[in-house]
Structure 1
Amino acid sequence: MREQEIQNRIRVAVSAAGCTIFRANVGKVKTADGRWFDSGLPQGFPDLFGFRHSDGKIFFIECKNETGRPREDQTRFHEFLTSKHVIHGIARSPEDALKIINASVVGYGFEN
């Protein structure tokens, strides 16, 4: 399954579970005068982020398919979030995402 499809399924499931979730659109484009424009989020920022309605706790979800592995910049961002005890992890399915969010897991999937 493509990563985009996994993201979409996660967004639907997490929204239905009482959370607000956003997709972090990032990228670079070349302007008409030849300069590069970066969307502004830090390198390695996870694909999805949001908060639980029950307590306002924020979470970050990096989406990967069954064989996907985190890039170096994603691992650095994970290490930063871990140092602050922020709920986050790698989700390969809606079930993974809900486990991360509902159990307040810090770093799920990065230990592999």
Structure 2
Amino acid sequence: MNEHGTQNQIRTEISKYLYPLCGLVPFWRINVGQGWTGNARHFSRKQEITVEPGDVLIKKARTFNTGAPEGFSDLIGAVPTIITPEMIGQQIAVFSAIEVKTETGKSSAEQKQFIANIQHIGGRAGVARSPEDAIRILRG
């Protein structure tokens, strides 16, 4: 199975796990992308430069990246957690991050560092190759 399919399975199982705990699913897919920006000119008729209706010509084009910074996990959210009685038994949310990989996929150095940073400050983070891995991460 590819990473996208694995991620969809994990998202489904996270929903089944979290909804009974808190009545919602405080988890989100983090998208990243790359696009082009510049001076756009829309065409409504065919021109000598061979553009078709609906095409866009971007003059002085330059790329831009959007979304989370490099290394940020694929799925982020919060897990409801009951704190100890000496902390008055309040429920708190623990930041959680899941990096989704296929069975053979490898995490980048930036992804490993992001996971380590979240764990260092008390969050729950890790690499999941299956829904079971993801639930283990969320359970801490």
TM-score, structure 2 length as denominator? Answer: 0.67
Match of 2:15 in 1: 15
For the pair shown, which has the larger CA radius of gyration, 1 or 2? 2
State the 1:21 CA deviation.
1.4
User: Number of residues paired by the alignment?
Assistant: 103
Amino acid at match of 1:20: P
Match of 2:120 in 1: 83
State the 1:80 CA deviation.
2.0
State the 1:53 CA deviation.
4.0
Runs of 4+ in 1 over 4 A off after TM superposition: none
Q: Which has the higher strand share?
A: 2
State the 1:20 CA deviation.
2.2
Aligned equivalents of 1:17, 1:6: Cα separation in 2 = 16
In the TM superposition, what whole-angstrom CA distance separates every residue of 1:22-69 from its partner, at most 9, and x where no partner exists? 100012112234122211411100000111245422210000000011
Is the 8 Å Cα contact of residues 30 and 67 (structure 2) preserved in structure 1? no
**Which of residues 20, 31, 34 in structure 2 aligns to 1:25?**
31
Structure 2 unaligned runs (5+)? 19-24, 38-57, 82-91
The percent identity for this pair of structures is 37
- Pairwise CA RMSD: 1.6
TM-score, structure 1 length as denominator? Answer: 0.82
Structure 1 unaligned runs (5+)? 105-112
